[in-house]
């Protein structure tokens, strides 16, 4: 009788190592999904806290031009200034609901001379594909603007743009084009303007709370990690039965398993056997 001594072999040590590696990967992926869920819940909390909050003065929310904290995303702020229409830019490759288009960036110069970049909304691609058919003009003169803050975007070497357009909302680059001190920590998605123009680009919609399937995915990965050891145990049990098939105790257990399998046969199986016997 060999018993379970075969588990001490190098081959089974290798099987165990594979199972441990598989479980480690599954557990890591499970915790990664939990981390993504935590990020989604944090974003939901930001939207709930900031999106419909009473506007905070810009200078209070962003005391320095490069000030930014992730907790300020979607924060509603207000400011007064004059739009620099000549420095207006279009952001390329901005789809909305599956449709290609652009976002309209219009710098707003405040009374102290600083500039804040306002994203006035989205426009669809026009007939010539390289620009919208028309860009609604912003209010002229002094205007009071309410926006929702977002962080600036990074530079992408692989993406370029034609004059008057920009590949990403890269605030330091916009500052160079404007030639005035500009807020580089954040820009704003337009919520309202006073006075309000007759038409404006499509406004951003409030994000729908959705934490995604990350919790269920995490549970699945943890179950996969456990199933790896279950499979290893099953294989070990099958090999034990094979190697110890000459042991009387194991033979008795094998006979008992065969009797249980026979007792679970359906009436249809029994009828088929009878018919086969008659044939």
Per-residue confidence (pLDDT) for residue 124, from 0 to 100: 94
Tokens of 213: 């399937």
Rounded to an integer, what distance in angstroms lies between the CA atom of residue 12 and that of residue 25?
A: 20
Element spanning 21, H or E: helix 10-50
Q: 105-119, 139-153, 166-180, 233-247: which has the minimum mean pLDDT?
A: 233-247
Query: Is the pLDDT confidence value at 13 over 80?
Result: yes
Rounded to an integer, what distance in angstroms lies between the CA atom of residue 69 and that of residue 57?
A: 16
Rounded to an integer, what distance in angstroms lies between the CA atom of residue 254 and that of residue 259?
A: 9
- The mean predicted confidence, pLDDT, of the chain is 89
Rounded to an integer, what distance in angstroms lies between the CA atom of residue 69 and that of residue 185?
A: 9
Which residues partner with 121 through β-bridges? Answer: 104
pLDDT per residue as tens digits for the range 217-258: 999 999 999 999 999 999 998 888 888 878 777 777 777 777
| Residue range 45-62: mean pLDDT, rounded | 95
Confidence of residue 152 (pLDDT cuts 50, 70, 90): very high
Element spanning 106, H or E: strand 101-110
Query: Is the pLDDT confidence value at 268 over 70?
Result: no
Asked whether the beta carbons of 228 and 26 are under 8 A apart, the reply is: yes
């Amino acid at each position: 009788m060999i018993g379970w001594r075969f588990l001490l072999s190098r081959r089974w040590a290798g099987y165990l190592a594979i199972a441990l590696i598989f479980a480690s990967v599954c557990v890591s992926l499970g915790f990664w999904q939990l981390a993504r869920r935590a990020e989604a819940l944090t974003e939901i909390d930001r939207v709930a806290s900031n999106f419909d909050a009473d506007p905070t003065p810009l200078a209070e929310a962003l005391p320095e031009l490069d000030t930014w904290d992730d907790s300020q995303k979607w924060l509603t702020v207000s400011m007064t200034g004059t739009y620099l229409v000549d420095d207006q830019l279009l952001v390329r490759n901005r789809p909305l609901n599956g449709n290609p288009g652009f976002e309209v960036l219009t710098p707003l110069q405040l009374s102290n001379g600083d500039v804040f970049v306002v994203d006035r909304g989205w426009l669809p691609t026009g007939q010539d594909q390289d620009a919208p058919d028309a860009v609604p003009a912003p209010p002229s003169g002094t205007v009071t603007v309410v926006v929702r803050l977002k962080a600036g975007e990074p530079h992408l070497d692989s993406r370029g743009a034609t004059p008057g357009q920009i590949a990403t909302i890269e605030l330091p680059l916009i500052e160079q084009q404007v030639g005035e001190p500009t807020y580089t920590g954040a820009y704003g998605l337009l919520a309202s303007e006073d006075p309000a123009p007759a038409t404006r680009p499509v406004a951003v919609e409030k994000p729908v709370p959705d934490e995604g399937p990350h919790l269920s995915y995490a549970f699945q990965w943890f179950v996969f990690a456990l199933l790896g050891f279950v499979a290893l145990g099953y294989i070990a049990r099958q090999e034990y039965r094979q190697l110890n098939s000459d042991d009387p105790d194991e033979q008795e257990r094998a006979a008992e398993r065969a009797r249980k399998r026979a007792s679970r046969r359906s009436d249809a199986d029994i009828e088929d056997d009878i018919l086969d016997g008659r044939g």
